[in-house]
Amino acid sequence: MTEIPKSHPRYASLVARERVAEGVRKGLTSIQGLIAQGRGECFDYLLGERTTPSAAAATQAAAAMLLLAERPAFSVNGNVAALVPEEMVKLACALAAPLEVNLFHRSEERVKRIADLLRSCGAERVIGENPDATIEGLDHARALATRGGIYDADVVLIPLEDGDRCEALAAMGKKVIAIDLNPLSRTARRANVSIVDNILRAAPNLTAQVRQLSSLQRSDLEGIVRDYDNENVLHRAVQEIKGHLEGQFKD
C-alpha cells in the first residue's frame, strides 16, 4: 500500500482509497469496486465527510430495528470486506447475526477469500459459500442466497448494495437497512432505513448504537422505529449537502 502521511489533509479519504485498491490486489474486491468507491468519495465530499444529524438518526433507527429483529443477517461484498472487515464482525457478534458474502460480480474464488478474511477477523458465522436458495426477480448470480441467512432473515443490512437486490429483498417482505452515501440512489430510496454515511463511520457507529440501545425495553425500541421516517431523512440528507455547499461560499 502507498504510505499516506498522517498530516495529509485528505488522510482518511486516501487511506480508504488505498484499502479498496489493496482489496482488488488481494482478490477481495472487484475492479468495479474502485468505481463504486470513487462515487462514494464524491458524495462523502459533498456531505462534508462527517456523520450528519440525519445519518445519526438513521443509525439509531437501524440499531433499534436490528435489536427487534428475530433473524437479522448482514450482507458483505468486496468493498465492505476491503474497508471494514473487523467492524462488520464486531457488529455481527453484538447481534449474534450471520455475515453472508453476497456478491454482485460473483466469483467463487472471491466469495471464499472474503469468507476466510471474515473468519480470520473472528467472525462466528460466515455463510454464502454454498448458496441454497434464490431471491425471486433477480437474474442468476445476484439472486443467490443462503437459508438461515439473508434468505430467511426478517431484517437485512445491505451496505453498498445495488438497487435491484434491495427492491427484491423488500418485495420478499424483509425490512431492509442500507448504508449508502448516495441519498438519491434506488437503494437508499427503497430501503426502510437508509444510513447516508461512509461505511467507515457508519459501521462502528451502528455497533455503538446497538450496544447503547440494548438495555431498552422492546416498547421503547418499537417507538424509535415507529417514529422514524426514511423519506424525511433522505430529504434532510439532501438539505445537509446543500447547506454544506452553501457554507463553502459564505464570504
Give contact residues for ligand PTJ (rule: CB under 6 A): 30, 32-33, 36-37, 39-40, 43, 77-79, 83, 103-105, 160, 162, 179-182, 185, 198-199
Q: Which residues contact 154 (CB under 8 A, 6 or more apart)?
A: 69, 70, 71, 72, 174, 175
CB closer to ligand PTJ, 40 vs 149: 40
Give how far Cα 180 sits from Cα of 94, 149, 150, 239, 249, Å: 22, 21, 19, 16, 27
Q: How many CB atoms lie within 10 A of CB 61?
A: 25
CB closer to ligand PTJ, 168 vs 221: 168
Nearest alpha carbon to residue 30 among 92, 84, 110, 87: 110
- Write down the least CB distance from residue 49 to ligand PTJ, Å: 11
CB closer to ligand PTJ, 43 vs 228: 43
- Write down the least CB distance from residue 55 to ligand PTJ, Å: 10
Residue with CB nearest ligand PTJ?
40
Distance of alpha carbon 188 from alpha carbon 52, whole angstroms: 16
Q: Cell for 176? A: 431492509
CB closer to ligand PTJ, 40 vs 72: 40
- Write down the least CB distance from residue 72 to ligand PTJ, Å: 19
- Write down the least CB distance from residue 160 to ligand PTJ, Å: 4
Q: Helices H, strands E: what count in the chain? A: 12, 8
Which amino acid is located at 117 in the chain?
L
- Write down the least CB distance from residue 33 to ligand PTJ, Å: 4
Distance of alpha carbon 135 from alpha carbon 143, whole angstroms: 5
CB closer to ligand PTJ, 137 vs 223: 137
Q: How many CB atoms lie within 10 A of CB 121?
A: 18
- Write down the least CB distance from residue 39 to ligand PTJ, Å: 4
